[in-house]
Structures are given as structure tokens and as C-alpha cells.
Amino acid sequence: MQADLERLRLEQNKLSKRLMRETGRAIADFNMIEAGDRVMVCVSGGKDSFGMLDILMTLRSRAPIDFDIVAVNLDQMQPGFPADVLPTYLTQVGVPFHIETRDTYSIVKRLIPEGKTTCSLCSRLRRGNLYRIATELGATKIALGHHRDDILGTFFLNMFYGAKLKAMPPKLVSDDGRHTVIRPLAYVPEADLIEYADWKQFPIIPCDLCGSQENLKRKEVTRMLQEWDKKYPGRAWNIFKALGNVTPSHLMDPQLFDFVGLKPDGKANLLGDTAFDPAPIDSSEITILRVELPSSH
């Protein structure tokens, strides 16, 4: 029993260090948080936003710069929503917070036919309210709890169903040019957040809008990524890294590269024929290919 407890503590310590390291790395890589920032951490009641708040509070206590955190929840008036859970938890952990009540649930249910995807309208309504709240609270950054798998999932959804190479950026400026939105968990896989939430026993509040639509395309993409993680370790990470390692001259977007005006100039071109060179294949993928390909004998 003592050995099991010691092993559990070791695993939890490794998980905590990994989460702090990867979140801190994303913050540094994209200059997400600066000295004097007031970071509005959006807490929905799900595992990701609970994890983000907990990690950011820990990092703030260790950071060489000073910044403030205010937790914000948008109560969308979903039937049965336990309104006392978040205020109780946020009070216990000692973070300033603001609860905003807006009946966006009724708007979504009225405008979206039964069985259709609610996420798009729900997100727009929530985003508009969060931007307004950020202004009222004087927040300089708005932190969202999207993780690595959310970013990858969005990439595949846009590619499969929208014919676009587009994902979630780790940092962006809002359409009105007034707010900076950050995703500190950009480097964190969902599996780590699931494990962290189980360890910390966050009071998770389910979403009745999204959770009731089991056949959403995003869920299909999520299952695909989960299967890859099991069968082809490293594949999802390689695709994720590729999002930050782009060569526009080897794609097909004339807005990113001047294909029309491209002409030989007699100078060596390191980006020319290298497009046809075979990419290095991960050794685990080679092993899998050997196992799955039929024998030629």
C-alpha cells in the first residue's frame, strides 16, 4: 500500500511539472502574459478551464513578473445549472471572480433547430459577452482553456469540411481590435488535463448544449486523434509541430507566395526542388508499416 501511494505521488509530481513546464513554455513562446497584465481567466466549469486556472495561479506564485488574475464565468442559464458550485470553489481557492448571468441558452435553443450543431452560435454569443466583461473589468488578456487536441481538432475540421488549412492560434487580437486572447494550454494534451482534473477533484459542471450532441464532427475528429495516440505514438505531436513549421512556397496559396511572378534568377534556391525530397519517417511509423503491409512472398 505504501509503495502504491509513493508511486502515485511520483506520477502526480511528474504530471504537475509537465503541465507547468508546457504552459510556461507556451506563455514564453508567444509572449502571452506580460508584467502588469490583468488576466481574465474564463472558467466554464469544465476540466480544461479549471486546470488552466489552477496552473496559472501556481505559475503566478513562481513567475519573475507580477500579473493579476480574475476568474470569470458566464452563466448561460442552462436548466439545472448549479449556480453555487463555481462561487464556492473560487472562494475556496482565493481568487477574485465575477459571475455574469446572461440567458444565451434560450437564444440558442430558439434559433437552432433540434439536432443541429449549437456550438457556432453559442460561441459567438459567449465571445461577445466575454469581450464586454473584459472591458468592464479592465482585463488586458483573456485566457481560454483550449488545449493541444482542441487546436489539432480544429485544424482537421477546417481541412476535412472547410477546405482550409486553419487552426486555433495560441494568441490573437479580437475582431474589434480591443482585446488580446491567449490559450496558455496550447502545448498541453487533453489526456494530461483529464488526469489532472481527476487528481485535483475539480467540481466539473457538464454542458447540456454540447454534451447532448454525440455525433458532432468534432467528436469524430477527437476519436481519430485518440486512436492515433494509441496506435501511432508521436503522430499527433508531429502534426501539431507542423503547424509551426510552414513553408508557403511548397503549398498552393498565391496570397502567401508569389507563384505568378516566380521566375528563375540564376541564384541557388534552397526552397526549390527540396519539396520533392522524401521527408524523414519516424522509426515507430516504419515499424508499424512493416507490421501492417502484406508480405511480398
Q: What CATH number does residue 62 fall under?
A: 3.40.50.620
Q: What is the pLDDT of residue 278?
A: 59
User: Where are the strands (E) in 141-272, listed by range?
Assistant: 141-143, 171-173, 180-182
Q: What is the pLDDT of residue 4?
A: 84
The whole domain housing 181 covers 2-213
Q: What is the pLDDT of residue 208?
A: 59
**How many degrees, rounded to 5, is the angle at CA 182 between CA 136 and CA 63?**
95
Within-domain flag for 100: yes
Within-domain flag for 87: yes
Q: What is the pLDDT of residue 214?
A: 42
**How many degrees, rounded to 5, is the angle at CA 281 between CA 277 and CA 284?**
175
- In sign, the C-alpha dihedral spanning 20, 21, 23, 29 is positive
Within-domain flag for 120: yes
Within-domain flag for 13: yes
Give how many domains the chain has, as a whole number: 1
Query: What does pLDDT average to in each consecutive run of 10 residues of the chain (297 residues)?
Result: 87 97 98 98 96 98 95 86 93 97 80 70 81 96 97 94 95 92 97 97 79 65 92 95 93 93 81 60 49 46
Within-domain flag for 129: yes
Within-domain flag for 9: yes
Q: What is the pLDDT of residue 62?
A: 94
Q: 52 and 185 in contact (C-beta within 8 Å)? A: yes
Q: What is the pLDDT of residue 99?
A: 96
Within-domain flag for 68: yes
User: Where are the strands (E) in 110-217, listed by range?
Assistant: 141-143, 171-173, 180-182
Q: What is the pLDDT of residue 83?
A: 87
Which amino acid does the sequence have at 52?
Answer: M
Within-domain flag for 158: yes
